[in-house]
Amino acid sequence: MTASGDGTGIPVGVYRGPGCGIEAIEAYESWLGLPAGSTVAYVLDFMVDRPADWAEFERGRLPAWTNASTPGTDVSVWQDQLGGRTLMLGVPACVLGSTWETEQGANDAHWKALGTRLIELGFGGAVLRIAREFNGSWYPWQVREGEQAAYIAGYSHVVELLRGLPGARFTFMWNPHLGTGTLNRSGAESCYPGDSVVDVIGIDVYDGDWSGIYSQSFIRSLMRSYRRRERQQRAVWDNIVKQWDGLDGWRNLAEDHGKPLAYPEWGLRLWLDDGVYHGGGDNPLFISQMAAWMKDTGALMHAMWEDPGMGVSDPDDAPRRTIAVPQSRRAFLAAFGSR
């Protein structure tokens, strides 16, 4: 079996839940219409954000399924399962009381243990998204204004350490989310750790808005009738492209540094934030615009967020689905499907 691009020719990845098993990946490949003998290029998974102890961190513990009765497992669930696919793993940092200062050497034994285990399991060539979305406020490794130097030193130290392990062929994806986030005075680019450290720049992009374009009246109408509101959706897309640390800015930074640009997470917003809905719902415009953007700018890879109930491949009555997305599903298959 060989890893394949989707209908655009861009290498594609997918996340179907922590330790979901190869059957769930194969089902997605079938839905996408990949030719027989072809696979997605990347299988995405994530270690727990806040491990209970260092043993969980070193083992590469994965989260438990939200509705599962069985406990979460670890990265070994993927051993000898991936075929021609590459593991793309979200790796936490600054856990168990650590900070970016202590990531500059104090936790070396734990990082070595994790890296060695990945190599022994056959994942020495994995793509590692260490401290993904560091410019967000929702993870323990978040970076605030004034902390950039400590972050750069700590992140660079961890990368150098893992690269030096016998058998390591890791790819390191430096991975902010779209927008300045916690770094609204300096921009997330102020955390760029250097060309010798970064292999790929990955940007997480969702159809979300906090500027008021997606007003609550828009949301109420959307959730009642599932109707598109293209004017607002187009205004949000323009903001996604043009805002500080928007798509235009990241494309320019990647070009300036000679680094490939990827989109390891992108998708619709179909969930609440503290009881408020900020998404554009069933938004085929966002799907088609992202497809055109990635094709025109030569994306290294992309992965639509397909956590069950949150993407476009599930039935509209999936348990976690709050808004049906039939138009987005059709737009996605038209842009990326291989049938």
126 within 8 A of 118, measured Cβ to Cβ = yes
Calpha distance 155→100 (Å, rounded): 8
Mean pLDDT value of segment 242-250: 98
Q: Concatenated DSSP letters for 114-177?
A: HHHHHHHTT-TT-EEEETTTTTSSSSTT---TT-HHHHHHHHHHHHHHHHTSTT---EEEE-PB
Determine the length of the chain. 339
DSSP helix/strand/coil, 203: strand
Residue 72 in this model has a pLDDT that exceeds 90:
no
Cα–Cα nearest to 305, from 111, 44, 20, 29: 44
Q: How much is the pLDDT for 135?
A: 98
Calpha distance 238→159 (Å, rounded): 35
Mean pLDDT value of segment 268-280: 83
Mean pLDDT value of segment 306-326: 84
Give 69's pLDDT tier (boundaries 50, 70, 90).
very low
Q: Which range, 94-108, 226-240, 312-326, is most confident? A: 94-108
Calpha distance 328→284 (Å, rounded): 4
Q: Concatenated DSSP letters for 307-330?
A: STTTSSSS-TT-TT-SS--HHHHH
Residue 224 in this model has a pLDDT that exceeds 70:
no
Q: Which residue has the higher pLDDT, 70 or 242?
A: 242
Q: How much is the pLDDT for 318?
A: 75
Q: How much is the pLDDT for 93?
A: 98
* Stretch among 73-82, 95-104, 223-232, 300-309 having the lowest mean pLDDT: 223-232
Q: How much is the pLDDT for 68?
A: 44
Q: pLDDT, tens digit, for every residue of 97-115?
A: 999 999 999 999 999 999 9
CB atoms near residue 232 (< 10 Å): 19
Q: Tell me the sheet residues that pair with 61.
A: 74
Calpha distance 215→293 (Å, rounded): 26
Query: How does the average pLDDT of the chain come out, rounded?
Result: 91
Q: Where are the domains of the chain?
A: 2-336
Residue 37 in this model has a pLDDT that exceeds 50:
yes
Calpha distance 46→21 (Å, rounded): 13
Q: Which residue has the higher pLDDT, 72 or 210?
A: 210
DSSP helix/strand/coil, 112: helix
Residue 71 in this model has a pLDDT that exceeds 70:
no
Q: Which residues contact 70 (CB under 8 A, 6 or more apart)?
A: 64
Residue 219 in this model has a pLDDT that exceeds 80:
no
CATH superfamily of 2-336: Glycosidases (3.20.20.80)
* Stretch among 110-119, 149-158, 207-216, 325-334 having the lowest mean pLDDT: 207-216
* Stretch among 66-70, 119-123, 280-284, 333-337 having the lowest mean pLDDT: 66-70
Q: How much is the pLDDT for 214?
A: 84
The amino acid present at 232, given as its one-letter code, is Q
Mean pLDDT value of segment 144-149: 98
Q: pLDDT, tens digit, for every residue of 3-36?
A: 666 667 899 999 999 999 999 999 999 999 998 8
Cα–Cα nearest to 209, from 238, 183, 173, 186: 238
